[in-house]
Structures are given as structure tokens and as C-alpha cells.
Chain A
Amino acid sequence: MKSKTKIAASVLALTLSLGTLSACGSGNNNEPAQTAKPSNTANGGASEAKDTITALLPPVSPTYQENFKQMEADFNKLYPNLTLKIEPASWEDMTQKLDTQVNAGSPPDLAFIGSDGISKYAQMGMLLDIKDLVSADMIADYDEAALAYMKNGDGLYGLPAYMEVHSIGGNKQFLEEAGVDWKKVQQEGWTYDEFREAIKKGVVKEGDKTSRYGFVFATAGVASKDYLSILVKNAGMPSPFTKDLKYAYTSKNYLTVLNAVRELIDDGSMPKELSSVDAGKRWNMFLTGQTMITGKGLAVFENSANKNNAKIDAKDGSAVEGSIKVDYIALPLPSFAGQEPVSHAVVDGYVAFRGKKDPTDEHKANIAKAAYFLSSGQVAATTNNDLFAAHITKSAREAAASMESNRNPDNIAAVDKMLEHAAPARPDIPVELGSKAIKLENEVVIPKLQALLAGEITPQEMYDAVKKGAIEAFGADGVVQD
């Protein structure tokens, strides 16, 4: 009996040990599935060998992840020898999941990320250049401005899904009560002084307490870098680097924007607790009538507001507690110091990765096919319609023609206008400079902005700190000195 127990225990122990070891032994270095055969073609495009393409995808739109099975089936129908294997991820763990896989040398073939993440992965050498893998027909399908965002240097590292602008959103009723001619603003924009006066008028006080602010922008959590980076685009700094690759945020216009950031809080138009207001909080404040304008705004917010309005009408308990009906009005950011308004463009898409081992030509070609399938035609049309986002491929526009949309035509026109002023892509910025700028932003700009918003430092002190950090990172000759 004792002997049997020992044998059973040892078998269990051995199993445990082997399980541990086998876990370490498995790996996916972006190798094609076992059934894949080597290709003799230059780009492998003509091969019929079986292959599997993996994609790590977050909930891009409210219904996006519900369509995964259909997307996999449609892709397989289009390419019977290919399998698209989608791994869903939440927005919260998307970056961490991807980063872990990239650093382990076994990323997915495709991941849905913002184009601003390209330089980070390009510097590590983990991106796959698909420039020679996509056909001329595929390229011709995309709007040039959006496609440029997926480039870095000479390489093309993915295909864009949509191009959006970061705007701000107003409550139509409150705007009109404050005397804001929002249609004019949508078409002609506004200066900082005009904006400042408008949001002052949007403030409602009950005794000493402010029951409604003129403007609330999310500045905490994941939104921490948005506020300033969106504002400075309208102050003659469309990119952190000038065309001659000097760091731009040492310009005096940067100080002008910092002064404005503080003024809006000191005016009482924005809450003094702004540094703790995150994306969820400010949206709640907008829907509950605690602010006239909110930021950042995306086209999809109109959809969210409409859905909440419908719930209020239907007396649905899942409507936001204390919310009121809101007509969402998309508005541009104000311009500063007499500069031209420049919209902060957001181009997200399907970026192609490589593992430690270089994938076969055949597999590379299949990755490009999958990226095109996901970012164009029916898939893109469905997703972008759900997001209220502008289509950037001819095929998606055609597919979306028959789809219903209840977007406000004024908002569509306003967003189109803002897209006309969108900051151009900057594939010329070397990845080393880009990563230094990101580090400077995380270690100096965002922490100092938090302190500025909390009233702990002055705009001049923040400007000096950013300038000092920039000179340390790029050298005195590497920054704008005006």
C-alpha cells in the first residue's frame, strides 16, 4: 500500500515537473502553422499552402468583438487555405499583453494599435515592413493621409482602420443658452480668447458652489497626455518636432498654452480638481449636465449620447444615473497666439509584427492579406459606422453606403472640416528621437502638467522644467529656441 502511494505520488510529482518544463518549452515565434510550406514566390502571394495568421484585437467599437467569429469565417471564405485566429483583449490590458509578447519575441502577426505606437516597436526591430507585400490595388484603396501614419522612415508597418480627430463636444442646449454660435464655430473655428469667454458664460453657480462648469477635459489616468498634446497642435506645434527635427515644445508658444491652461481653471470655467478628472468622470459630468463642453471628444461620443438619450426616453434604468438628454455637438479646439488651427489626428490600425525568427515570405504575404481584409471593405465599414468614424478606404465607403446612420449632419461636416486641418503624419522623425520625446513626455511633461493643474507650480516653472529636460535629451541645438 505504502509502495503504491509512493508510486502515485512520484507520478504526480513527475507530471508537475514536466508540466512546468513543457510550459517553458512552448513558444510562438510567428512561425506559420505546421502545415505551411516554403514558398518560391517573391512575396508568397500566389501560394495555396495552409497558414494561420494571429491577431490581437481590442474592442475597437461597441460591437466589434461580437463579430470576431464572422470575421474569421469571412476571411477563411475569401482565402480557404488561410485561418485568421483572433485573440481578444480589453483596452486596459491590450498594451501590456502586446508588450509582453513583443518582449518575449513572440508577438501576434497583427495587433490593433494607434499609429503613435509604431516608433516604439520599430525601434525594437519587431515590426514587419509590408511595403512590398501589399499590392498597388490595395494601396490605392486607402486615403493617402491616413496611410502615411502607418509609415516610419521608408517602411510601411501596417494598414490604417480609420482616421479620427480629437475634438471637444458641447451640449447644444447649454451652448445656445450661453450664446455660442456653435454652427459658426464648427465651420470657422475659434480663437482662445473667444473660447475663454464662451466657457465663462457656460458656468452656472448656486451660491458658492458651481453646479455647471464651462469646460471639463479628462486629464487623469490614460487621458493624462491628451489635453496638452491636443492644445499645442493649435499653437503652431503640430508635432513634437519641427520640420528640421528640433524639439518644438521649448517654443514660447508652449508657454502661452500653459498660461491658458492655468487661466481657464483660475477663471472658474474649469474645476480646480481637474487633475483628478479621468475620462469616465468627465463623461459622467457631461451627461449629468455638470459641464457645457467636454474633451477630448470623438465622433463616437455622439453615438453614446444618443444611446443614453434613448434610454432616458424609454425610462430604462441602465441610463447614466442623474443624466439628462444631450444633443452632442462636435467642436474644434481653439487656436492660440494667432496660429492656424491644427487638429490632432488619430489613426489606428492593424500593425504587422515579426518574431525572433524572420517569418517566411509566404507568411509575410498572408499577414498583409489579413491586414487588408480587416482594415477595408465590409469589416471596416461595419466598425467605422459603429464608431461614427470617417471611412478611409474606397471599399469601406462603398460597403457603408447601404448602412444606416443617425449621425448629426452638422457634426459630420464639422469633423470633415477638422480632418482638413489634421496634422500630417511625420514618418521622417527617427525612432530614437521619437522615443526620447515619449520619455520626456512621461517623465517631465505629464507630471509637471499634473502639478500645474493642481496649482502647485506656475506655467513658467513648468515651461522651464520641460525646457531643461528637452535640452538634456536633445542638446541645446536640438530644441527650438525662439
Chain B
Amino acid sequence: MARASNVKNRLNRGDGAWAYAFIAIALVVYALFTAYPVVSAFLVSFQEYRPLGSEYIGFDNYSGIFASELFWKAIMNTLVYTVLTVPVALIISFAVAIAIMPLKKWAQTTFKAIYYLPAVASGVALSVVWLWIYDPLPGGILNQLIGMLGIPSQNWLGASSTSMFSLVLMSWLSSHGTSIIIYVAALLGIDESYYEAAEIDGATFWQKMWHIVLPCLKPTTLFLLVTGVIGSFQVFQNAYLMTGGGPDHSTTMVGLLIFDTAFKYFEFGKAAAQSLVLAAIIGVIAFIQFKFLGKDVEY
């Protein structure tokens, strides 16, 4: 009996070693492709980077960033984009999830697949379609649509007054698939007995929504809010492909500014500093979100 136990312990010890071996692979990949670039970016942010030999310049890159009007404008643009897109995206995702919940399994799956489709489609291909929709001439699709309502045609991406709205609209009407799937999964996790008890008490649809669904989905909503804000602060592709940050920097987001600084002007030190400042801003916002919204949330 004792011998059998010893053998089992040896095997367990062996399993532990294997577990560490497999974890090590993930750790090595993480260290190479995440940790190392972050540490490297931190070091580069204090340098004037040159492929043939960089020079340490202290905090010059950081002071340059904070003195730059364009950086603050990009921060403000990103903030506006985030405020306009993330809450609406959550509401749309939640509404769609609620709408497809009562459907049969096959119908639910079909809708989830349809809503998830933009997530697997190429962002470049989607942008081409949107560029077509936003054709500024009177024959453009969106201009024809608003023309039916008697509204004159708009220079959607070429005017400061409409360019940010155009990017926001594009975000509102695409890429909710992941959030919808997460919300549906969370809705399925709510115990039926809550609804039964509420029905016995004569609760209406909205009362059930307010007193059961929203509180039960709070951890999910907080997760989607935090990840949504992080994603939104890092937005790059839409601005890069649709407007290039224009006109007059009205859609220059921080992500695009970092890209331009690095790959247009080759100021990698400054770009690294901008990235770290952005990471700090995102960290502070995530902390605030958890502090004020995550008090009674447990994962």
C-alpha cells in the first residue's frame, strides 16, 4: 500500500515537472514577444533611436510629447471616440443578445454567426466597403440615402464636422460579435429560478431586466467595458485606412500618431515614449473603472 502511494507521488511529481515544461513554453513566447518588446520600448523611450547606434537623451522624448499640441489633440480625439463608441457598442451588444435569447438554438447560432462575421473579415476589406458607402459625391450610397430625406450630400470623411462621426458610425454598425457571444453566454448562466420567482411576484419585463439581468451581468459588462475602452484607446486601423487622421487632424488618434511618429518620421524613441504614456493612461482608466464599478463584482 505504502509502495503504491510512493509510486503515485513520484508520478504526481513527474506531472508537476511536465506542467512546468508546458507553462515554460508559453512563458518563453510571452517573454520574447511581449515582455521583451515592452522592456525594450521602455529603454528606447530614453534614446534617440538610430539603426546604426542610438543615443541616450534622458527625458527629452517625454518632455517633447507633453509639449506637443498634436499629442493632446490625439488624446482628446481618442477620448471622444471612446466615449461615443464603447457605451453604444455595449448597449447594442446587450440588446441583440437579449433579442436572440428567446430564439431556438439554431436561430441563435445563426444570428451569432452573422454578427461575428465582421470579426473574421479583413479590416481592410471592410474599410473599402465603408469608403464606398462614404463616397462624397452626390452619387455615394450614404449621400443618396440622406438625399431621400432632403439632406444635402456630405463630404463624410473629408470634412472635420463629419469625419469623426463617420468613424464612430462605422464602429456602431460593425464588430459586436464577440460582445454578443459573451453576453449570450452570461445570460444563459443566470439561474432560471430568479425569473420564476420574479414572475410569481408579477414582475414586468423591464423589472426583471433591472433587478435580475443587469445585476447578474455586471461582471460581464465590466469586463466588456474595460476591454472595450482598452481596445478603443488603441484604435488605429479605421483612422489609418479611412481618413489618415485628417482632415486637419480631426481623426488623429493616439495609435495613429504613434505609428506616424515611428514609421513616417523614424522617431522610434518618441514613439516608444508615446506608447508608454498611452499605456499609463489606459492603466489609470482601467483602475478607475475597477475602483468605482467593480466594488461588488467578483470573478
Judged by a CB distance under 8 angstroms, whether B194 is at the interface is: no
Q: Which listed residue, A99, A125, A209, A450, touches B263 by the CB 8 Å rule? A: A99
Name the A residues within 8 Å of B13 (CB-CB): none
Tell whether, in the assembled complex, residue B51 and residue A105 are in contact, meaning their CB atoms are under 8 Å apart: yes
Judged by a CB distance under 8 angstroms, whether B285 is at the interface is: no
Tell whether, in the assembled complex, residue A276 and residue B22 are in contact, meaning their CB atoms are under 8 Å apart: no
Instruction: Show 28 A/B contacts (Cβ-Cβ < 8 Å), sorted by A.
Output: A10-B18, A13-B21, A13-B25, A20-B32, A99-B266, A104-B51, A120-B266, A124-B52, A125-B51, A125-B52, A209-B138, A220-B158, A273-B136, A273-B155, A273-B158, A275-B247, A435-B265, A439-B265, A442-B260, A442-B265, A443-B70, A447-B245, A450-B247, A453-B158, A453-B247, A454-B158, A456-B161, A456-B247
Q: How far is it, in angstroms, between the C-alpha of A65 and the C-alpha of B119 when the chains are bound?
A: 34
Q: Knowing A20-B29, A124-B51, A457-B248 are in contact, say whether A451-B157 is a contact too (CB < 8 A).
A: no
For window 20-70 of B, CB contacts with A under 8 Å fall at 21-22, 25, 28-29, 32, 50-52, 70
Task: Give the 6 A-B CB pairs with smallest separation, nearest first.
Answer: A450-B247, A276-B158, A273-B136, A275-B158, A451-B248, A276-B136
Q: Knowing A20-B28, A124-B266 are in contact, say whether A221-B159 is a contact too (CB < 8 A).
A: no
Q: How far is it, in angstroms, between the C-alpha of A275 and the C-alpha of B136 when the chains are bound?
A: 9
Tell whether, in the assembled complex, residue B25 and residue A446 are in contact, meaning their CB atoms are under 8 Å apart: no
Judged by a CB distance under 8 angstroms, whether B160 is at the interface is: yes
Per-residue CB contact flags for chain A residues 300-338 toward chain B (1 = under 8 Å, else 0) read 000000000000000000000000000000000000000
Tell whether, in the assembled complex, residue B159 and residue A456 are in contact, meaning their CB atoms are under 8 Å apart: yes
Q: Knowing A454-B160, A456-B160 are in contact, say whether A447-B249 is a contact too (CB < 8 A).
A: yes
Tell whether, in the assembled complex, residue A13 and residue B264 are in contact, meaning their CB atoms are under 8 Å apart: no
**Closest residue of chain A to B260, judged by CB?**
A442
Q: Knowing A104-B51, A126-B51 are in contact, say whether A13-B158 is a contact too (CB < 8 A).
A: no
Q: What distance in Å separates the Cβ of A103 from its nearest Cβ neighbour in chain B?
A: 6
Per-residue CB contact flags for chain B residues 170-203 toward chain A (1 = under 8 Å, else 0) read 0000000000000000000000000000000000
Tell whether, in the assembled complex, residue B248 and residue A450 are in contact, meaning their CB atoms are under 8 Å apart: yes
For this complex, into which size category does the number of interface residues on chain A fall?
35 or more
Tell whether, in the assembled complex, residue B157 and residue A276 are in contact, meaning their CB atoms are under 8 Å apart: yes
Tell whether, in the assembled complex, residue B246 and residue A447 are in contact, meaning their CB atoms are under 8 Å apart: yes
For window 436-454 of A, CB contacts with B under 8 Å fall at 438-439, 442-443, 446-448, 450-451, 453-454
For window 1-22 of A, CB contacts with B under 8 Å fall at 6, 9-10, 13, 16-17, 20-21
Tell whether, in the assembled complex, residue A24 and residue B32 are in contact, meaning their CB atoms are under 8 Å apart: yes
User: Which residue of A9, A209, A273 has the most chain B CB atoms within 10 A of its CB atom?
Assistant: A273
**Closest residue of chain A to B162, judged by CB?**
A454
Name the A residues within 8 Å of B137 (CB-CB): 271, 273
Judged by a CB distance under 8 angstroms, whether B244 is at the interface is: yes
Q: What distance in Å separates the Cβ of A21 from its nearest Cβ neighbour in chain B?
A: 8
Q: Across the A-B interface, how many residue pairs have beta carbons closer than 8 Å?
A: 97
Q: What distance in Å separates the Cβ of B288 from its nearest Cβ neighbour in chain A?
A: 32
Name the B residues within 8 Å of A438 (CB-CB): 265
Judged by a CB distance under 8 angstroms, whether B156 is at the interface is: yes
Interface residues of B (CB under 8 A from A): 18, 21-22, 25, 28-29, 32, 50-52, 70, 134, 136-138, 153, 155-161, 244-249, 260, 263-266, 268
Q: How far is it, in angstroms, between the C-alpha of A439 and the C-alpha of B155 when the chains are bound?
A: 27
Q: What distance in Å separates the Cβ of B23 from its nearest Cβ neighbour in chain A?
A: 11
Name the A residues within 8 Å of B50 (CB-CB): 124-125
Q: What distance in Å separates the Cβ of A27 from its nearest Cβ neighbour in chain B?
A: 12
Judged by a CB distance under 8 angstroms, whether A224 is at the interface is: yes
Tell whether, in the assembled complex, residue B268 and residue A448 are in contact, meaning their CB atoms are under 8 Å apart: no
Q: What distance in Å separates the Cβ of B87 from its nearest Cβ neighbour in chain A?
A: 28
For window 247-298 of A, CB contacts with B under 8 Å fall at 271-277
Judged by a CB distance under 8 angstroms, whether A102 is at the interface is: yes
Q: Which listed residue, A16, A224, A443, touches B244 by the CB 8 Å rule? A: A224
**Closest residue of chain B to A442, judged by CB?**
B264
Judged by a CB distance under 8 angstroms, whether A421 is at the interface is: no
Q: How far is it, in angstroms, between the C-alpha of A453 and the C-alpha of B247 when the chains are bound?
A: 9
Q: Knowing A99-B263, A120-B266, A443-B70 are in contact, say whether A456-B248 is a contact too (CB < 8 A).
A: yes
Q: How far is it, in angstroms, between the C-alpha of A405 and the C-alpha of B248 when the chains are bound?
A: 44
User: Which residue of A96, A102, A272 has the most chain B CB atoms within 10 A of its CB atom?
Assistant: A272
User: Which residue of A6, A104, A275 has the most chain B CB atoms within 10 A of its CB atom?
Assistant: A275
Tell whether, in the assembled complex, residue B160 and residue A102 are in contact, meaning their CB atoms are under 8 Å apart: no
Q: How far is it, in angstroms, between the C-alpha of A221 and the C-alpha of B240 when the chains are bound?
A: 10
Known: A209-B138, A276-B157, A454-B158. 7 other contacts (CB 8 A): A99-B263, A104-B51, A224-B246, A273-B158, A274-B158, A442-B260, A453-B247
Name the A residues within 8 Å of B158 (CB-CB): 220, 273-276, 450, 453-454
Tell whether, in the assembled complex, residue B268 and residue A103 are in contact, meaning their CB atoms are under 8 Å apart: yes
Name the A residues within 8 Å of B138 (CB-CB): 209
Name the A residues within 8 Å of B263 (CB-CB): 96, 99
Tell whether, in the assembled complex, residue B18 and residue A6 are in contact, meaning their CB atoms are under 8 Å apart: yes
**Closest residue of chain A to B154, judged by CB?**
A273
Name the B residues within 8 Å of A126 (CB-CB): 51-52
Q: How far is it, in angstroms, between the C-alpha of A165 and the C-alpha of B46 when the chains are bound?
A: 43
Tell whether, in the assembled complex, residue B155 and residue A275 are in contact, meaning their CB atoms are under 8 Å apart: yes
For window 69-114 of A, CB contacts with B under 8 Å fall at 96, 99, 102-105
Q: What distance in Å separates the Cβ of A434 from its nearest Cβ neighbour in chain B?
A: 12
**Closest residue of chain A to B14, judged by CB?**
A6
For window 410-453 of A, CB contacts with B under 8 Å fall at 435, 438-439, 442-443, 446-448, 450-451, 453
Q: How far is it, in angstroms, between the C-alpha of A6 and the C-alpha of B16 when the chains are bound?
A: 12
Q: How far is it, in angstroms, between the C-alpha of A275 and the C-alpha of B22 when the chains are bound?
A: 55
Q: What distance in Å separates the Cβ of B241 from its nearest Cβ neighbour in chain A?
A: 10
